[in-house]
Structure 1
């Protein structure tokens, strides 16, 4: 079993291609943070070399120590084709760095006594009750695969979702003919509300028995739906009202509004010989339209400065600028080993 924690507080943010550094987090000379200017310059040199060689279009490097920013540099372009240079307030697709924010949202409700982490999630999301588990057996002589399902030995708990031991992955299980059930159901589509996504997850078997194996997947998206149901608030509004506004994360959300579109980075994909090319996936432009799926696993956009404020809150034990988001004990719980 792999052993990640499900939130790792960060003091270094490097975003490939972040506003001014937020109130309460000061920018100082590197020696004011105990950082060596000459060694920091090595980062700048190496990153600019990657830009020059075409390995990346651009990037941002931000290093904070003891609540002070000692290094904040940009490299290259946010839009290489249009020759638009990288800005410190460039907006990025955060992908899986959305997950730690969902972890915080869940723990906020846990602190309020809305549920126990040991609760079966079906207590709040009944569509995830009485699930089956997919089993694939291979004949050792012929290699022929036989696929069938068995009942889950126990319910998925909220803790299972937080630590990716729910039996829910991204790929999903195979049916009796070896075809992917998630593809048939459209489970991973972002053109649906997260509640519909969760219903489709419940229509398919799990890929592992709950609690038996760690596997990265849609568990954190399920938690976004849990927050909606338990709080009675759409997930995007919960994050905005309970985390983003209190922390001063002014550029974080599910959509890039028209007035901020000029700061939105282009999306790139690997090309031949270690170079890059424009990504042609829907994510290139979809964030410029109103969001449909407020998932907890990958859909947020943000800036380096905004995300630093979130990270600094965790490093401070749940508080920033006099605003407490979580108790210190909850932050300790989040950064502990829950797999053993």
Structure 2
């Protein structure tokens, strides 16, 4: 291998395997519409590639500046925003949530029945802000389709609808039972949307304004927001839904998407659109201890604190999860304040480093930061659900396999 083929300790020849693999296994067979992939190390973008069609129906090729629905990759942004306020002394992690949302003072836990005739009992513990940041709140998601509680979320459209607002979400959640007493189990949920509500409350400004002023503008993330602007529409990807037989159908047409209209519901859990370079600026700041290009968005010690495993007893997700859904493989992963954290590489059955952290989104987008290797990987596509193919694990194997 020639030295010119190695940049920042990564083999370019080996990274090219990624584009061949994605083309042969996913794009040409029609399993994924497109892929835009970025790998950075030691603060340098080493390899980036766009392939496939961002809009199959209109035959528009994917580009490096294509806009994607990043869904739950919004969660780390919201968590960083919340912890910026923590650094200002605005709250403590063990503060009860009802200190800020009084209607949540007497939350109850599900015992039986169906909505609206639930049988409940008082929660044995008090929900704290840390419970929200770690998804140990007892809240859930309607799309999980596992319990009578998440059936009520679907009925009330609490995962998002044209009439939902953050205020309405918080009011409705006060009336519904929790899945379990806070702090006793892990369940993927609307918790981060509630964190977004608290950011608005504590900062006394709308969530989109807060993000723009304190994260997006400092990092130069001019393409990221809750709405696709008219001048961005020609770069906005279509979104697809996985079908039996490993085909896909159009799920959201970019020309008619709700993302192109001003949002009523500023979802801190899943509402952002972004580009790969914008999200790289955010992920690179996380890789560099909270600072990128001279702009610090979070303190170094605060970030170290966030990427520790905050699950009780340093356990991993399988030990505490009551559901089967996550945006990361369960084994060998814990959870910090806003993202998953790899705690045991061998147990995870996926190449990487202990301490690696990141998250993914419903439309199969994904990122990870490996502090040990000083490396960032971001993958953008638009196929729902994210569990359709094991592409995230394959990418980890190929990216780490390119280290020399």
TM-score (normalizing by structure 1): 0.84
Question: SS of 1:276's equivalent?
Answer: strand
Q: Alpha carbons of 1:94 and 1:284: their partners in 2 closer, same or farther (altered >3 Å)?
A: farther
| Counterpart check, 1:94 vs 2:70 | yes
RCO comparison, higher one (Cα < 8 Å, 6+): 1
Provide the rounded CA distance (Å) in 1 between the counterparts of 2:210 and 2:303: 19
Q: Alpha carbons of 1:200 and 1:30: their partners in 2 closer, same or farther (altered >3 Å)?
A: farther
- RMSD of aligned alpha carbons: 2.0
Q: Given that residues 30 and 70 in structure 1 are in contact (C-alpha distance below 8 angstroms), is that contact kept between their aligned partners in structure 2?
A: no
TM-score (normalizing by structure 2): 0.71
| Counterpart check, 1:188 vs 2:159 | yes
2:19 to 6, 19, 44: 44
Aligned length: 301
Q: How does 1:61-100 map to 2 (within 5 A)?
A: 61-100=37-76
Alignment-derived partner of residue 120 in structure 1: 96
Provide the rounded CA distance (Å) in 2 between the counterparts of 1:119 and 1:282: 41
- Report which of the two structures shows the higher radius of gyration computed on alpha carbons: 1
Question: For structure 1, which runs of at least 5 residues remain unmatched after alignment?
Answer: 1-28, 138-145
Alignment-derived partner of residue 82 in structure 2: 106
Superposed CA deviations along residues 163-213 of structure 1, whole A, max 9, x for unmatched, are: 0000001139637xxx93323433233322111111111111111111100
Alignment-derived partner of residue 327 in structure 2: none
Quote how far apart the aligned CAs of 1:150 are: 0.4
Q: Given that residues 233 and 255 in structure 2 are in contact (C-alpha distance below 8 angstroms), is that contact kept between their aligned partners in structure 1?
A: no
Provide the rounded CA distance (Å) in 1 between the counterparts of 2:68 and 2:5: 26
Q: Alpha carbons of 1:283 and 1:330: their partners in 2 closer, same or farther (altered >3 Å)?
A: farther
Superposed CA deviations along residues 78-109 of structure 1, whole A, max 9, x for unmatched, are: 01111110100000000110000011001000
Q: Given that residues 30 and 71 in structure 1 are in contact (C-alpha distance below 8 angstroms), is that contact kept between their aligned partners in structure 2?
A: no
Provide the rounded CA distance (Å) in 2 between the counterparts of 1:82 and 1:186: 31
Q: Alpha carbons of 1:60 and 1:182: their partners in 2 closer, same or farther (altered >3 Å)?
A: same
Question: For structure 2, which runs of at least 5 residues remain unmatched after alignment?
Answer: 315-404
Provide the rounded CA distance (Å) in 2 between the counterparts of 1:220 and 1:99: 6
Alignment-derived partner of residue 10 in structure 1: none
Question: SS of 2:249's equivalent?
Answer: strand
Q: Given that residues 5 and 13 in structure 2 are in contact (C-alpha distance below 8 angstroms), is that contact kept between their aligned partners in structure 1?
A: no
Alignment-derived partner of residue 296 in structure 1: 268
Q: Given that residues 91 and 302 in structure 1 are in contact (C-alpha distance below 8 angstroms), is that contact kept between their aligned partners in structure 2?
A: yes
Q: Given that residues 266 and 284 in structure 1 are in contact (C-alpha distance below 8 angstroms), is that contact kept between their aligned partners in structure 2?
A: no
Superposed CA deviations along residues 39-73 of structure 1, whole A, max 9, x for unmatched, are: 11211111121211111111101000011111100
Q: Alpha carbons of 1:161 and 1:253: their partners in 2 closer, same or farther (altered >3 Å)?
A: same
Q: How does 1:222-237 map to 2 (within 5 A)?
A: 222-237=194-209
Provide the rounded CA distance (Å) in 1 between the counterparts of 2:89 and 2:48: 40
Superposed CA deviations along residues 18-39 of structure 1, whole A, max 9, x for unmatched, are: xxxxxxxxxxx76222111221
Provide the rounded CA distance (Å) in 2 between the counterparts of 1:285 and 1:272: 24
Q: Given that residues 169 and 215 in structure 1 are in contact (C-alpha distance below 8 angstroms), is that contact kept between their aligned partners in structure 2?
A: yes
Provide the rounded CA distance (Å) in 2 between the counterparts of 1:290 and 1:166: 30
Quote how far apart the aligned CAs of 1:284 are: 6.4
| Counterpart check, 1:326 vs 2:298 | yes
Q: How does 1:1-340 map to 2 (within 5 A)?
A: 31-49=6-24, 50-136=26-112, 148-171=119-142, 174=148, 180-191=151-162, 192-279=164-251, 285-339=257-311, 340=314
